[in-house]
Every structure is written in structure tokens, then in C-alpha cells.
Amino acid sequence: MDRIRISGGNRLRGIIPISGAKNAALPLMIASLLTSDTLTLENVPHLADVEGLMRILGNHGVDIAVNGRRERQEDGYSRTIHFTCRTIADTTAPYELVSKMRASFWVIGPLLAREGKARVSLPGGCAIGTRPVDLFLEGLQALGANIEIDGGYVNATAPSGGLVGAKYTFPKVSVGATHVMMMAATLAKGTTIIDNAAREPEVEDLANCLNAMGARITGAGTRTITVEGVTNLSGARHRVLPDRIETGTYAMAVAMTGGDVTLEGTSAALLENALDVLRQTGAEITATETGLRVVRNGHGIHPVDIVTEPFPGFPTDLQAQFMALMTRSSGVSHITETIFENRFMHVQELARLGARISLSGQMARVEGVQRLKGAPVMATDLRASVSLVIAGLAAEGETIVNRVYHLDRGFERLEEKLTRCGAVVERVSE
């Protein structure tokens, strides 16, 4: 099993290219099930989750062709991938595939809309909370679907005439459920109104792609999305938006270590709240012609309190990284997690590096320390794993991060990007 070895203490200087967003690419790939034409996606990151979803889509009958590279970009980064699903070969998404990645459960929406039936295993993924699928199923039921759960599988069937548009209000904001209901509604008869919808940029990106395929969606990016159903969708070409979580992660790494890094191919509009918080810690962040420039001088890191919230609030997917940053602040900060009930598993691992963190329910109190010291640590989930990398970059001596397969799920060529900016990071294979 691979590990990552980090020798801390170096400032980061240089350019880091930001990849396409994993959280946008996955629903976009799943949207290929909605049409018999080819959907071409540019800027798709090379990640374990993307590879896993391609296997799942292949099981449903999607023909996949990978070629090309990002314009003015080096080999090995984001790709152009063509997805063609002439016919649905299988409406069952089996446990052995779905259990490895939660987002694969989202195929239930397009399969139900196009074929009128779907049998999908209950999902797996990171152990950061229960994350039930109730919201997904209630949204589909509002469109007329009949839902039964049997033997660990969700069996969904549409009425004989297909799904029917309806008005539905999510009791809680859910990005995944918004994706699924929006995709299903594109082929439903009549108008669907989704209230309390997720407002994340990835939702808007999916809506833009679906509209390019012939869907009629308005309001994406707001709390109310309206979908006018159409009889069929066509192919399209769409570019995946930049990864705002990767952007924030590297910005925090620069804030942690000091230095001067340009994050290429990204936009401040994707994560204004998180960037405002980073500025409060003492980092300087400015827009450039190609992306964002992040600079921190040697004056230290200021403590800042945050509360994770749905977009446009502070992202839960940056909470662990921000906690790592706060371990070196000049005072006490408080981090409140409101999205997932079990997303503080990185606390004990950060403590192994010398962090002082205490927990009270869903709030963490972080007392900044003058130094962290390298140690062996264990990644517990995707975002927790990269928080350990950030801490290791600033720790004295050597840090070994185990279980880096979590990192490979969401960060494209992380060690290479950091190394090119002066970090001493290497992957070690046993």
C-alpha cells in the first residue's frame, strides 16, 4: 500500500495547475445515461473516483473513449472523455461497484428517467457520517416513482407513462439529491419545481451541461430550480469547472507554509467565503489573468472561527484543511461542523503531530502551537488525508501519511504539484 513521505519546513513558490472538479465531473458523467448521443466532457480529472465511475457506467452500457489533454497543459493532467450510451445494457447498479463510491448511487435518477426502472445498491463511500438516501428517494417519489428497499437495494419504477413533473421542497439542502432530482426531471412530463435546492457551483455546472443537451432548466445556483421536461436529450460538449476544493486546499497549504504560489485555471467566484476566511488569517489573495495568487509573509497565522455551511458558506470539504492551518495560528480558533456528524476523525491524527485540539459535540477548539513535529499518521477519509499533508508540510522532520488511496480519490497528482513548488513530498510504494 502506498504512503506519502513529507519533509516539512519548505515555503511553497511557483505555479499549481488546478484540475477539473471531481464533484462536478461525477454527476456530469452520470448525465451521459440520459441520452443515446455522445456527451463529451473536457477537463475531467484523472482520479480514482472517476475511474471507478467509468467502470460503473460501462456496466450500464456506456461506451467510453479517453483522449487529449488540457490546452497548454502538460501530459498527465485533466482529460477529454467521450461517453456514448446508445442503449442501457443493465438497469442494476450492483453492490460490489456502488459500495466503493457514494456518488455512483446517483445513476438511479437517469436510469429511472430513461428506462422507467432502476435497481441500485445502497451506497458506500467515506465514513464521515450516515448520509442517508432518504432525500434522494423522496424527491423521486414526488415525480411519481415507486420505491422499495429490499436486500440492500433500492428498487425504483416509474409510472407506465413515465415520471411526472411536480413541486418538491427538500427538508434539508443536499447536493447529491439536487443532482439526482434535476437529472430525473429533465425527461419527466411537465414542470418540476425544486425548492431548497443546493446552490453549489457544481449544481449549476450540471444544469449548464444538461441545457446544452437540450434540457430546459432555470434557476440553478439559486434556492429554486425549475425544470421543463423534454422528450429526449441530445449529445453535447462541456468543460468541467475548476475544482474549488482543490483550489482552497492549495491556498491553505500556502497559508500554512508561507511563500508565493499562483493557482492556475481557477476562479475566486467558486469559493469567495473560504478565500475571505483565508485573508483573515493573514494570507494575501489576488486574482490574476490565469487564476489566483496566494502569498503569505512571515508574520504568522491569525486565528479565525468558522462554521461549515452549504454554499455559499464555508465548505465542509475544506474544514479539515482549515483545522490543519489553525494548528499553527497565534491563538485559539473554533471550528463548528454542521454538515456531517462524524467529520472530526482527523483530530487524533493531527494531535500526533503536536496539535492541541479539543472536541465538544460538533465544535472543535484549536489552540495554535509554535511548532508541529513529524510523525506517522493515518488518513481516515479524503479531506482528512490532505489535511495531514498540509500539516506535514509545516511540521519539523518527517511525516508519513498512510492510506493515501483516499488522496487518490480526489487530488490529481498532488505530490507532483507540491514538489514543483519546492515541497519535499514523495510517494513510497511498499
Quote the CA–CA distance of 428 and 204 in Å, as a whole number. Answer: 39
339 is in an annotated binding site: yes
22 is in an annotated binding site: yes
23 is in an annotated binding site: yes
294 is in an annotated binding site: no
Strand order in the sheet with 363-367: 306-307, 332-336, 363-367, 356-360
Cα 290–Cα 292–Cα 208 angle in degrees, nearest 5: 70
Q: Are 281 and 327 in contact (CB under 8 A)?
A: no
Contacts of 116-119 with C-beta under 8 Å, sequence gap 24+, read 116/157, 116/158, 116/162, 117/91, 117/155, 117/156, 117/157, 117/158, 118/91, 118/92, 118/93, 118/154, 118/155, 118/156, 119/91, 119/92, 119/93, 119/153, 119/154, 119/155, 119/156
174 is in an annotated binding site: yes
| Whole-Å CA distances, 155 to 117, 119, 320 | 8, 5, 36
386, HSE (Cβ side, Cα atoms, 13 Å): 28
| Whole-Å CA distances, 237 to 29, 69, 81, 211, 411 | 12, 15, 10, 11, 24
Axis crossing angle, helix 382-394 with helix 319-326, rounded to the nearest 10? 20
172 is in an annotated binding site: yes
173 is in an annotated binding site: yes
Concerning whether 85 is annotated as a catalytic residue, the answer is no
Q: Are 10 and 253 in contact (CB under 8 A)?
A: no
Quote the CA–CA distance of 94 and 123 in Å, as a whole number. Answer: 10
Active-site residue, selected from the candidate residues 85, 126, 209, 421: 126
133 is in an annotated binding site: yes
What is the identity of the amino acid at 42?
E
205 is in an annotated binding site: no
Q: State the alpha helices, DSSP H only, in 200-357.
A: 201-212, 244-257, 272-281, 319-326, 347-352
**Residue labelled with grid coordinates 428517494:** 137
Q: Which of 113, 115, 160, 101 is nearest to 139 (CA)?
A: 113
Instruction: Write out the binding residues for phosphoenolpyruvate.
Output: 22-23
Instruction: Write out the binding residues.
Output: 22-23, 102, 131-135, 172-175, 317, 339
Instruction: Write out the binding residues for UDP-N-acetyl-alpha-D-glucosamine.
Output: 102, 131-135, 172-175, 317, 339
Active site members: 126
